[in-house]
């Protein structure tokens, strides 16, 4: 009997082991091995030169998600950041008031990695800067990054044969140690808020805000300096607006788009436009505020005209002017906004939220008709649905809107720099005419594109040995299927 039970127990163990092996194989089939492959080591390309699979210029979150997907899949990746600290507008600019695209049935269009951030934001668990910083640090964990670099030069060669015509072979940069370094890459990605890479590549600039009024000089939407407060009685703010209902009374008293719930507040422009800044470069527009809990509030409302994000002096000047203005704004809000009577400033961001700067032609430039007609493309890499929202410039004093689209697609070609076979653009560098850009510019829309492109670099280029510019409609039918199955990303209707 003892031998019988020993044999039976051994058979049970073998069956259990076989079942566990089956589960491992099943998991490998569902989640491709490339998604968890050990990152590759960069290769030498000569003295002072290193070759990577992907080099991302800038540390904005959209391109970071591309880098993360590529890195996780085993590609060698390097982030070169011209800013002194990583994180861009989200972390250094503390742009923690998140815009959420949705379709005309009010269904959120946030997908991919950003859904985790937005779920935490909407639930109130990711509201304060420290929580955002922890989230961002997890994204860049393990990815090599050098901050405070300056691009010194680029090496471009003709691709030869059919295709886009040019290849960006290498980039030379000056590091903090005062030395020049050269990097080669299979793909380069523009991921700054001031076109640090693409400005050197000779493409035509896409007309900006000046095209709305036939202006002769380039014009850009104002930047924002985020205002942080503590000691706010959010419940009192909420209750005050409720007591002024119906909505017609709220609009008459506070201005259009005024709304307050337990987490977010917008509007109050009838009050804020009465504020007169000391410097004509500044404007306090309507408030767009998030309650961060514990009496803390962050407001996206202080606009700064004529900021050149490519010029460090311009950025420093804008930040200094905004910091100097902030105490006066706090005093004004204490006097005029319910719940702010005891509000105090709660620190200062180091950087700005840059909405708009030079964008350069891509293989397809998204237009307003594409957006408003809900057009879908065969090579969609993301889905948009945010209102067409163009913020103020000196010439467009209070900004302007051009309607709310339903869901629409944005093609891979709008992120492929025109005439280059290995340069992608991320985030606000998207190829879009200004009205289309007013909708497509928000983080979750272009972040999903970045994440999708990172997946494509791993599975189609590195594994499939096919340039992204060579992908066909048939390829995308296959791609759409595995994006949905393996990553929970759906970019088809």
Q: Do 313 and 457 have their domain in common?
A: no
Phi-psi region of 14 (alpha: psi -120 to 50; beta: other; left: phi over 0): alpha
Tell me which residue range forms the domain holding 389: 34-214+356-493
Asked if residue 372 is part of any domain, the answer here is yes
Q: Which residue has the higher pLDDT, 20 or 133?
A: 133
- pLDDT band per the 50, 70, 90 thresholds, residue 6: very low
Cα(274)–Cα(335) distance, integer angstroms = 12
Strand partners, 223: 304
Asked if residue 68 is part of any domain, the answer here is yes
Residue 420: pLDDT over 70: yes
Q: Do 25 and 38 have their domain in common?
A: no
Number of domains within the chain: 3
- pLDDT band per the 50, 70, 90 thresholds, residue 23: very low
Q: Which of 345, 375, 404 is the last residue of a domain?
A: 345
Asked if residue 162 is part of any domain, the answer here is yes
Asked if residue 351 is part of any domain, the answer here is no
Asked if residue 363 is part of any domain, the answer here is yes
Task: Give pLDDT, residue 162.
Answer: 52
Task: Give pLDDT, residue 182.
Answer: 97
Asked if residue 47 is part of any domain, the answer here is yes
pLDDT above 70 coverage of the chain, percent: 91
Cα(384)–Cα(406) distance, integer angstroms = 8
Task: Give pLDDT, residue 164.
Answer: 54
The per-residue pLDDT for range 212-257, each reduced to its tens digit, is: 999 999 999 999 999 999 999 999 999 999 999 999 999 999 999 9
Task: Give pLDDT, residue 159.
Answer: 64
Which CATH number do you get for residue 474?
A: 3.50.50.60
Kindly report the CA angle at 273 between 235 and 295, in degrees rounded to 5? Answer: 25
Q: Do 19 and 46 have their domain in common?
A: no
Cα(21)–Cα(291) distance, integer angstroms = 48
Q: Do 112 and 137 have their domain in common?
A: yes
Give the distance from CA 390 to its chain's centroid. 17
Q: Which of 305, 321, 345 is the last residue of a domain?
A: 345
Positive or negative torsion for Cα 375, 376, 380, 381: positive
Q: Do 399 and 297 have their domain in common?
A: no
Q: Do 20 and 45 have their domain in common?
A: no
The per-residue pLDDT for range 325-372, each reduced to its tens digit, is: 999 999 999 999 999 999 999 999 999 999 999 999 999 999 999 999
Asked if residue 350 is part of any domain, the answer here is no
Q: Do 208 and 72 have their domain in common?
A: yes
Task: Give pLDDT, residue 94.
Answer: 98
Task: Give pLDDT, residue 274.
Answer: 96
Q: Do 94 and 207 have their domain in common?
A: yes
Asked if residue 239 is part of any domain, the answer here is yes
- pLDDT band per the 50, 70, 90 thresholds, residue 160: low
The per-residue pLDDT for range 114-140, each reduced to its tens digit, is: 999 999 999 999 999 999 999 999 999
Q: Do 365 and 323 have their domain in common?
A: no
CB-count burial class (<10 Å; 0-12, 13-18, 19+) for 99: middle
Least confident range from 12-16, 304-308, 311-315, 353-357: namely: 12-16
- Alpha carbons within 13 A on the beta-carbon side of 325: 24
Three-state DSSP class for residue 307: coil
Residue 435: pLDDT over 50: yes
Cα(79)–Cα(57) distance, integer angstroms = 6
Q: Do 413 and 470 have their domain in common?
A: yes
Task: Give pLDDT, residue 161.
Answer: 52
Look over the chain and give the mean of its residue pLDDT values, rounded to a whole number. Answer: 92
Q: Do 195 and 54 have their domain in common?
A: yes
Three-state DSSP class for residue 260: strand
The per-residue pLDDT for range 41-100, each reduced to its tens digit, is: 899 998 889 999 999 999 999 999 999 999 999 999 999 999 999 999 999 999 999 999
Q: Do 86 and 173 have their domain in common?
A: yes
Task: Give pLDDT, residue 493.
Answer: 83
């Amino acid at each position: 009997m003892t031998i019988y039970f020993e044999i039976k127990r051994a058979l049970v163990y073998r069956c259990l082991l076989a079942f566990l092996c089956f589960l491992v194989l099943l998991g490998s089939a569902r989640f491709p091995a490339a998604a968890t492959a050990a990152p590759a080591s960069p290769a030498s390309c000569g003295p002072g030169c290193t070759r990577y699979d992907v080099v991302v210029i800038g540390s904005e979150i959209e391109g970071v998600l591309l880098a993360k997907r590529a890195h996780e899949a085993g590609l060698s990746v390097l982030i070169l950041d011209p800013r002194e600290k990583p994180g861009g507008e989200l972390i250094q600019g503390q742009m923690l008031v998140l815009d959420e695209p949705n379709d005309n049935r009010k269904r959120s269009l946030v997908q991919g990695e950003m859904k985790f951030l937005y779920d935490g934001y909407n639930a109130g668990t990711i509201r304060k800067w420290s929580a955002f910083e922890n989230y961002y640090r997890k994204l860049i964990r393990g990815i090599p990054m050098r901050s405070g670099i300056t691009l010194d030069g680029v090496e471009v060669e003709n691709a030869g044969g059919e295709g886009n015509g040019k290849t960006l072979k290498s980039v030379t940069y000056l590091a903090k140690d005062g030395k020049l370094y050269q990097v080669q890459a299979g793909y380069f990605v523009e991921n700054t808020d001031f076109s640090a890479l693409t400005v050197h590549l000779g493409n035509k600039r896409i007309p900006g805000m000046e095209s709305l009024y036939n202006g002769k000089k380039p014009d850009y939407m104002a930047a924002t300096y985020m205002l942080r407060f503590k000691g706010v009685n959010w419940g009192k703010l909420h209750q005050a607006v409720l007591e002024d209902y119906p909505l017609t009374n709220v609009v008459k008293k506070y201005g259009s788009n005024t709304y307050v719930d337990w987490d977010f507040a917008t509007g109050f422009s009838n009050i804020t436009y009465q504020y007169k800044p000391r410097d004509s470069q500044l404007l306090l527009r309507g408030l767009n505020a998030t309650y961060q809990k514990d009496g803390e509030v962050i407001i996206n409302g202080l606009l700064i005209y004529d900021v050149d994000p490519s010029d460090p002096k311009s950025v420093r000047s804008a930040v200094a002017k905004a910091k100097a203005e902030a105490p006066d704004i706090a005093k004004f809000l204490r006097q005029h906004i319910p719940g702010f009577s005891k509000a105090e400033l709660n620190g200062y961001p180091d950087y700005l939220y840059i909405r708009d700067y030079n964008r350069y032609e891509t293989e397809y430039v998204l237009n307003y008709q594409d957006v408003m007609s809900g057009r879908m493309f065969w090579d969609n890499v993301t889905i948009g649905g945010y209102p067409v929202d163009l913020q103020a410039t000196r010439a467009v004093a209070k900004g302007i809107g051009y309607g709310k689209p339903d869901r629409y697609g944005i093609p891979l070609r709008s992120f492929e720099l025109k005439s280059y076979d290995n340069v992608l653009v991320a985030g606000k560098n998207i190829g879009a005419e200004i009205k289309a850009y007013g909708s497509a510019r928000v983080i979750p829309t272009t972040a999903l594109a970045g994440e999708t492109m990172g997946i494509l670099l791993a599975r189609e280029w590195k594994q499939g040995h096919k340039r992204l510019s060579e992908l066909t409609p048939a390829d995308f039918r296959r791609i759409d299927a595995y994006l949905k199955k393996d990553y929970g990303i759906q970019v088809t209707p």
